[in-house]
Amino acid sequence: MLIGAAALLNAALYHAPLFTFASARLDALSYGGLLTLATLFVLVAFVTALALAFVALVSRRLVKPLCMLSALLNAGVLYFIQAYGVLLDKTMMGNVLNTDVVEVTTLWHPKLLLYVLVLGVGPCLLLSWVRLRPTRRLRLAGFAGLVLVFGVGWIYAASSTWLWIDKHAKAIGGLILPWSYTVNLARYQSSQWAASRQAEPLPDARFVGDERTVVILVIGESARRRNFSLYGYARATNPVLSASGAVALANTEACATYTTEALLCILSHDDPGLRLAGSTELLPSYLQRHGVDVIWRSNNWGQPPLKVGTYERARDLERTCTGTMCSHDDLLLSGLAQRIRSSPARKVFVVLHQSGSHGPAYNTKVPPSFEHFKPVCDSVELDRCTPESLLNAYDNTILYTDHVVGRAIDLLKSMDGMPATLLYISDHGESLGEHGLYLHGTPMALAPDVQKEVPFIVWMSEGFQRKHRVEASALTRTTAHSQGQVFHSVMGAFEMRSSIYRPQLDIYAAGASATDGR
C-alpha cells in the first residue's frame, strides 16, 4: 500500500541527522542502543503512516500530492539541518518566518539544488508513476487501526527507551520530518496569537475591607503528596513546615499532569477545559487590574500570558542577589521582603513559581547541603538507578521545597502583624518507577495516582486568622480540595467580591463557617 511505503521511505530517506544524533549519544551496538534506534525509526514511520491514513479517509486523492509536497520540503529542510546543524523547534520556525529575502539569498548554495533534485524531485517522479486503486474506507480504517495497535504496542514494549527519548525530546522533535517544521510552525503561530490575544475581562470586583494584606502563592513543580511528611510520609521531609503552624489540606487532585494546563487550572476562576485556554482573564491579571500589586517570580516555565506589575525570572534576580542563598529556588526570595514593604498598594500578591522537583535530574534541583538522604541517583537514565537512590534524590527535593516555603512563611511572620497568608500547591505529581512509569505527563485517563495527587498547604498569620475569623485547624475539616479553589481563596483573602466569587470554593470562608458553627 502506498501509505505504508511512503511512511517507511520517509523514515529511511530524511532522518540521517536524527539517527546520527542518537548514535552519538548511545552505545549503538548494545541491545539498549539498538532498541532505541529501532524505536525512533518505528516512531517516525508510525506517526507518518497514521497521519496519511487519516488523510486518505478524508480524501484518497490528497495522499499523493501531500507525499510529493512533503518530499520536496523534506529535501530542502534536510539540507539546512545537515549544512547548519539547525533544529527546527518553535523558536527556529519563528526565525524562518521572520527571515527576509536578502537573508534567504545568502543561504543559497548549489548543494541545496542537488538535495531537492535527488531527494525531492526523484521521489516525486516515482510517486507520479504510482496508480492508486480505489480502496474502501472500511479497509483504510482497518489499516489505520492496525498501524495504531502496532505502533502503541512497540512503544509500550520498548518502554525502557522512554527516559532517553524524553531527555532528548526537544532535539528529536526538531529532527523528525515533516513533523518538526509543520508542528512547530503551528506552535509558533499559536503562541504568537495567544500573546497578542486580549483575554476577556472578568466582571469588575470591589473590596469590602481596606486593611493591608499580603498573600503568597507558591506553585510547586512535580511534587507528589505521598512524599510529604505532613501527609503521613514516614520520612521527615517537612521539618520546617511541621513546626511553622502550616496545615495540609486533604485529598487534592491536579486537573492535569503537565505544567501548562495545570497552571491554567490554578489561575482560573472556572474550569479552563470548558473554554479556550487563556481566553479569559486569569487571577494575577484580574488582581492587577483592581489595584493589587502583583509580583510574579519564576524559576520555571509554562505560565500563560499575564498582565502583572512585576515579572521576574530567576536570571533577573541573580543580578542583584547577594549572600549565600542565590541559587536554585532560594533565589525567588531574594529581596522580596523589601519589595513587599516598599509597595504603595494596600494589597500585595506574590507568586513564586518553583523549579521544585522537576525530573529527571532531581539531584540538580537542590544545593549540596540538602543531600540529606543518600545515596543519590545522579543520572537522568532513571531506570539505571536503584529505587532507593532515586527515592533519595526525589525526597531531597521535597526537603528543599520545605525549606524554601518555610523561608517564605518566615518572611510573612516579619511583616509586623500584618494579615498575611501563604498557599502552596503543586502543579502535578510525579512517577518514580511505579508501574514502569517515570516523570509525569501521562494522559489523565491513564495517569497513576502519584501523578495526580498533589499537596495543598496553607499558613495564616495570627492577624489574618483574627481578620477572617478562621482557625488553622478549621481548614482541615473539609475532606476534599482542588486546584480550582486557589482563585476564590485568594479573592477571599483580599476581601474581594464580584459576581464570579464562589464562597464555597474559598477555603478561608469554609474554615470560618466551620469555626462559627462550633
Extended beta strands in 321-379, E state: 347-353
- Distance from the first to the final alpha carbon of the chain: 74
Rounded to 5 degrees, φ, ψ at 304 are -75, 170
Helices (H) then strands (E): counts for the chain: 22, 14
- Please list the rounded mean pLDDT of every run of 10 residues in the chain (518 residues): 80 88 84 88 86 80 84 85 67 58 57 86 83 73 83 83 82 84 77 67 95 97 97 98 97 91 93 70 97 97 90 94 93 97 97 94 94 92 88 98 98 93 97 84 82 97 95 88 97 97 94 60
Model pLDDT, residue 360: 84
Cell of residue 73, nine digits: 520540503
What is the helix (H) or strand (E) element at residue 457, kind and residue range?
strand 456-460
The domain over range 206-499 is classified in CATH as 3.40.50.800: no
The candidate with the shortest Cα–Cα distance to 355, out of 305, 307, 299, is 299
CA 92 to chain centre: 20
Identify the CA nearest to 234 among candidates 366, 395, 75, 363: 395
* Every domain of the chain and the residues it spans: 2-196, 206-499
Close Cβ partners of 53 (under 8 Å, ≥ 6 residues apart): 3, 140, 143, 144, 147
What does the block give as the cell for 488?
476564590
Ramachandran bin of 234, using left for φ above 0, alpha for ψ from -120 to 50, beta for the remaining angles: alpha
pLDDT of residue 194: 59
What DSSP line would sit under 157-211, residue for residue?
Answer: HTGGGHHHHHHTHHHHHTTSTTHHHHHHHHHHHHHHHHHHPPPBPPPP-EES---
Q: Taking the CA atoms of 473, 479, 483 and 484 in sequence, report the sign of the dihedral they define.
A: negative
Nearest Cα to 272, choosing from 46, 460, 486? Answer: 486
Residues, the chain: 518
Residue 174 and residue 165: Cα distance in Å, rounded?
A: 13
Three-class SS state of 314: helix
Find the radius of gyration of the CA atoms of the chain. 26
**One-letter amino acid of 389:** S
Q: Which residues pair with 311 in a beta bridge?
A: 296
Nearest to 306 by CA among 336, 364, 264: 264
Which pLDDT value is given to residue 91? Answer: 57
Using alpha carbons, select from 361, 347, 362 the residue that is nearest to residue 493.
Answer: 347
